[in-house]
């Protein structure tokens, strides 16, 4: 019997997955209703306000606004992005160690109310800064780096455009593979091995193209600027010694709350292919498995529901093993190898953009950042151990060694 996963239109409608941009928000709004002009002004002028030292004062003088005028999903997502950027800027300010531990109620209350409505945490998440923080310069031209821009950034020279847009373009390239999921489940049900093989090879091809897009990061993001500037504003208050108790959301919760900063672990796309291919990331136990599970709560609810639904469907891996077809096994392994290659490359990027700058910074005795924090991801993980664990679990899922 056919199920919803065999029809992409059904997948798209039920799980908010777009045919062109996948898990990204298609054509995000660029402005909120006029009642929120003060929020928009601060978010659009963060670089100047931070540099002049006026940011915190402007935030503290904001009126308390109701979220009732945010009536549709896109306006709510834009407001979550706006309030997330303002919150990160307020907490970290100029990034010199002067950290605020209490978010004023005039911003904390609407932010937490909106987050509850969207079922997202009140912190800048990947779904905000990458998936909803973009626009086309010319709506009639394609989705390329040259024809795109971000809606918000923190500093004038923070490489945020490069980091956010390259991350988004990797997402979009990999998202093409989602369209093959209906073909895969239908082919398994109909026992059409050649159709399944071709669909798996298409997924492998999409993931290989995503890796090529990932290479653009070297062109658009400077390692020192990323590490010493942008990374600060993406850092959360979970596993972070600078906010060991978390952040107090004044007027909403009585106690401080801990939330992870935005990270690639919050991307649905790669967890999606782990689930589809039966790569047991979450069954491997340990901190990496727990972190991936925790990160699902930082995804839009429709996307985490998609992952749960995918987990309940017939196993592609078991089907391939059961059939014992050499060509089918080779196509399956092509997908796994493509994921391994992406994760190997991610490890190289982390070495260049985090570990090497962290090592250089630790030699600077005037650094106010705890040295152990330099080796952590923005999500609060022990970054290299986490990525190596995920990569090794992926590698072990190859049906053929070598």
CA distance 132 to 82: 10
Q: State pLDDT tens for residues 91-149.
A: 999 999 999 999 999 999 999 999 999 999 999 999 999 999 999 999 999 999 999 99
Give residue 6's pLDDT: 87
CA distance 34 to 355: 44
Q: Is 220 annotated as a binding residue?
A: no
- 255 with 335, same domain: the answer is no
In a domain, 144, yes or no: no
Question: Which domain-ending residue is among 261, 290, 310?
Answer: 261
pLDDT confidence band for 381 (50 / 70 / 90): low
CA distance 301 to 298: 9
Strand partners, 148: 136
Strand partners, 18: 22
Give residue 283's pLDDT: 66
pLDDT confidence band for 376 (50 / 70 / 90): low
Q: State pLDDT tens for residues 191-224.
A: 999 999 999 999 999 999 999 999 999 999 999 9
Specify the range with the lowest mean pLDDT, choosing from 227-231, 249-253, 274-278, 284-288.
Answer: 284-288
In a domain, 153, yes or no: no
Query: Residues with Cβ < 8 Å from 215, sequence gap 6 or more?
Result: none
- 348 with 253, same domain: the answer is no
- 54 with 174, same domain: the answer is no
Give residue 145's pLDDT: 97
- 257 with 207, same domain: the answer is no
Give residue 377's pLDDT: 53
Q: State pLDDT tens for residues 36-55.
A: 999 999 999 999 999 999 99
Q: State pLDDT tens for residues 278-318.
A: 998 866 667 888 889 999 999 999 999 999 999 999 999 99
- 343 with 252, same domain: the answer is no
Domain that holds residue 100: 22-127+246-261
Q: What is the CATH number of the domain that holds 184?
A: 1.20.58.480
In a domain, 31, yes or no: yes
- 212 with 339, same domain: the answer is yes
Name the domain count of the chain. 2
Question: Which domain-ending residue is among 261, 284, 315?
Answer: 261
User: What is the share, in percent, of the chain residues with pLDDT greater than 90?
Assistant: 85
In a domain, 14, yes or no: no
- 94 with 215, same domain: the answer is no
Asked whether the beta carbons of 386 and 288 are under 8 A apart, the reply is yes
pLDDT confidence band for 386 (50 / 70 / 90): confident
Give residue 360's pLDDT: 86
- 255 with 268, same domain: the answer is no
Give residue 353's pLDDT: 95
The mean pLDDT of the chain is: 93
In a domain, 255, yes or no: yes
- 88 with 197, same domain: the answer is no
Give residue 364's pLDDT: 66
pTM: 0.94
Query: Residues with Cβ < 8 Å from 326, sequence gap 6 or more?
Result: none
- 256 with 377, same domain: the answer is no
- Joined together, the tokens standing for residue 253 give 């919760």
Question: Crossing angle, helix 326-350 and helix 193-214, to 10 degrees?
Answer: 20
Q: State pLDDT tens for residues 141-175.
A: 999 999 999 999 999 988 999 999 999 999 999 99
Question: Which domain-ending residue is among 238, 261, 284?
Answer: 261
In a domain, 346, yes or no: yes
**Class of residue 16 by CB neighbours under 10 A (exposed 0-12, middle 13-18, buried 19+):** middle
Mean pLDDT of 342-359: 94
Give residue 384's pLDDT: 86
Give residue 65's pLDDT: 98
- 188 with 298, same domain: the answer is yes
In a domain, 11, yes or no: no
- 111 with 213, same domain: the answer is no
SS3 sequence, the chain?
CCCHHHCHHHHHHHHCCECCCECCCCCCCCCCCHHHHHHHHHHHCHHHHHHHCCHHHHHHCCCCCCCCCCCCHHHHHHHHHHHHHHHHHHHHCCCCCCCCCEECHHHHHHHHHHHHHHCCCCCCCHHHHCCCCCEECCCCCCCCHHHEECCCCCCCCCCHHHHHHHHHHHHHHHHHHHHHHHHHHHHHHHCCHHHHHHHHHHHHHHHHHHHHHHCCHHHHCCHHHHHHHHHHHHCCCCCCHHHCCCEEECCCCCCCECCCCCCHHHCHHHHHHHHHHCCCCCCCCHHHHHHHHHHHHHCCHHHHHHHHHHHCCCCHHHHHHHHCCHHHHHHHHHHHHHHHHHHHHHHHHHHHHHHHHHHHHHCCCCCCCCHHHHHECCCCCEHHHHHHHHHHHHHCCCCCCC
In a domain, 17, yes or no: no
Residue 356 reports pLDDT greater than 50: yes
pLDDT confidence band for 402 (50 / 70 / 90): very low
The bridge status of strand 135-136 relative to strand 148-149 is: antiparallel
């Amino acid at each position: 019997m056919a199920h919803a996963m065999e029809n992409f239109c059904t997948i798209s409608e039920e799980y908010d997955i777009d045919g062109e941009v996948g898990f990204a928000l298609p054509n995000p709004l660029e402005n909120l209703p006029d009642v929120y002009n003060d929020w928009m002004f601060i978010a659009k002028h963060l670089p100047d306000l931070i540099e002049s030292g006026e940011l915190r004062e402007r935030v503290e003088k904001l009126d308390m606004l109701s979220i009732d005028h945010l009536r549709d999903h896109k306006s709510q997502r834009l407001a979550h992005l706006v309030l997330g950027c303002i919150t990160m800027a307020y907490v970290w300010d100029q990034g010199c160690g002067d950290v605020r531990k209490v978010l004023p109620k005039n911003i904390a209350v609407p932010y937490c109310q909106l987050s509850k409505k969207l079922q997202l945490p009140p912190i800048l998440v990947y779904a905000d800064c990458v998936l909803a923080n973009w626009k086309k310069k010319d709506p009639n031209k394609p989705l390329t780096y040259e024809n795109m821009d971000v809606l918000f950034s923190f500093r004038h020279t923070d490489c945020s455009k490069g980091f956010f847009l390259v991350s988004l373009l990797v997402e979009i390239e990999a998202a093409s593979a989602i369209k093959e999921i209906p073909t895969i489940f239908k082919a398994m049900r109909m026992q059409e091995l050649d159709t399944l093989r071709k669909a798996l090879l298409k997924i492998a091809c999409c993931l290989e193209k995503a890796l090529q897009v990932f290479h653009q990061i070297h062109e658009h993001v400077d390692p020192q600027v990323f590490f010493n500037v942008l990374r600060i504003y993406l850092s959360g208050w979970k596993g972070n010694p600078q906010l060991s108790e978390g952040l107090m959301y004044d007027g909403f919760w009585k106690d401080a709350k801990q939330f992870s900063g935005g990270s690639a672990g919050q991307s649905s796309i790669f967890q999606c292919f782990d689930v589809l291919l039966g790569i047991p990331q979450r069954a491997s136990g340990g901190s990496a498995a727990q972190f991936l599970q925790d990160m699902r709560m930082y995804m839009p609810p429709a996307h985490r529901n998609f992952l749960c639904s995918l987990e309940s469907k017939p196993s592609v891996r078991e089907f391939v093993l059961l059939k014992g077809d050499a060509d089918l096994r080779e196509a399956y392994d092509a997908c796994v190898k493509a994921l391994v290659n992406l994760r190997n490359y991610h490890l190289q990027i982390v070495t260049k953009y985090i570990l090497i700058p962290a090592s250089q910074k630790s030699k600077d005795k005037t650094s106010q950042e705890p040295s152990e924090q330099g080796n952590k991801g923005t999500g609060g993980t022990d970054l290299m151990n986490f990525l190596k664990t995920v990569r090794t679990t992926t590698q072990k899922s190859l049906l053929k060694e070598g």
